[in-house]
Amino acid sequence: MCVTVFTMQINKEVNFDFILKKKWKEAETKGIFRYILNIKNSKLLSGKYAFLAQPANFIAISLKLTKLNVDRGHNRRSPEHISSMIQSFDKKRFNFTQISPEEVIIHLDGNEEDIIAINISPLEYCHSLLLPERCKCLPQVITKYSLYKALHIFRLSHDSYIRVAFNSLCAYASVNHLHWHLYYLNHRMLLEHIDLDDFMGPVQILKNYPANGFCIKYSSVRNLDKLVNWTFLIIDYLQKSEIPHNVYITRAKTDSGEEYQDIRIYIWPRKPSIGLKDASIFIPAVCELFGHLTIKSEEMYENLSEEGVANILRDVTEEKFLLIFDKVKNLIQSQIIT
């Protein structure tokens, strides 16, 4: 049963970042998380991509305040076994109608269906979950409405470090119930300003980076509806073609150099996560494709190289990107003609 408790209404007159950070810290103080986020180590890998690496076993300490470092992987909810892009929602498995009311920190615009809840196994500062139309029990498949809501909360924020991200089924989604990830990553990243290549219409491509993918910039369309429509055109094609994908939304510099006044939406078609050969170092999900790496052990963290990371990201994305390159181009061209 889906239980909703009103927390706080968000609108343009309210400082979204202040509320989110305040409510997230209150949840931490109350001991609602499975562990206390305590990121002590991070480094930029030397090289041209400036990958940001953090060792997983340094991320958290026990809520009981023992001296033992706790690996995030040992303290999160068990991920659901997902083997198909068309896997149906299963009410018998864990889903977000089952979260406790104290995990819910924001209701958007007074809508009891659209909420933000803490991620009780956080990866980064203020790591939360956008749960659009939660009680409809939709599978982990992007709807146009959920994309609007993701961009809505993104635009409510005035913090240049805000990030919104999505893992599809078979692309390391851990719960088959529609959700987006939201967090602050207080590091400047290459994909906030990397040069993109023209592709077709307002869509550009990310080629000079190991994780090949598509990108739509707000500055290319200057209209939220158009940004959603062009983004969803590609996502919907991937979903209907049963191609796993990851989506990342970040602030970015404009072409004229204005800092963080633009929005970029990256879309990566990729190999399915089932049986990937190189997942022993890090899980190549959406954050990792963006360049934010959670490394599984201190030893791997110390020995990590840019070349090793780049090879993993290339292996995950290059084949699918090349496979659908012409098909997506023709799809965009047909929309321009009509």
The span from the CA of 64 to the CA of 31, in Å, is: 9
**Which tokens go with 128?**
């939360």
The span from the CA of 206 to the CA of 186, in Å, is: 23
The span from the CA of 144 to the CA of 50, in Å, is: 33
**Which tokens go with 159?**
């913090």
Non-local (6+) Cβ contacts of 172 within 8 A are: 246, 273, 283, 284, 285, 286
Give the containing element (helix H, strand E) for 156. Answer: helix 144-156
Which three-class secondary structure string do you get for 245-266?
EEEEEEEECCCCCCCCCEEEEE
The span from the CA of 55 to the CA of 298, in Å, is: 6
Q: Are 180 and 165 in contact (CB under 8 A)?
A: yes
Non-local (6+) Cβ contacts of 322 within 8 A are: 212
| Cross-strand partners of 60 | 37, 70
Our answer to whether residue 245 is catalytic in this structure is no
Q: Which of 179, 181, 245, 292 is catalytic?
A: 179
Cβ count within 10 A of residue 50: 15
What strands lie across the sheet with 36-37, from one edge to the other?
36-37, 60-61, 69-70
The span from the CA of 85 to the CA of 112, in Å, is: 28
The CA dihedral of 299, 305, 309, 312, to the nearest 10 degrees, is: -80
The span from the CA of 10 to the CA of 25, in Å, is: 18
Residue 183 φ then ψ, to 5°: -160, 170
* Active site (catalytic) residues: 179
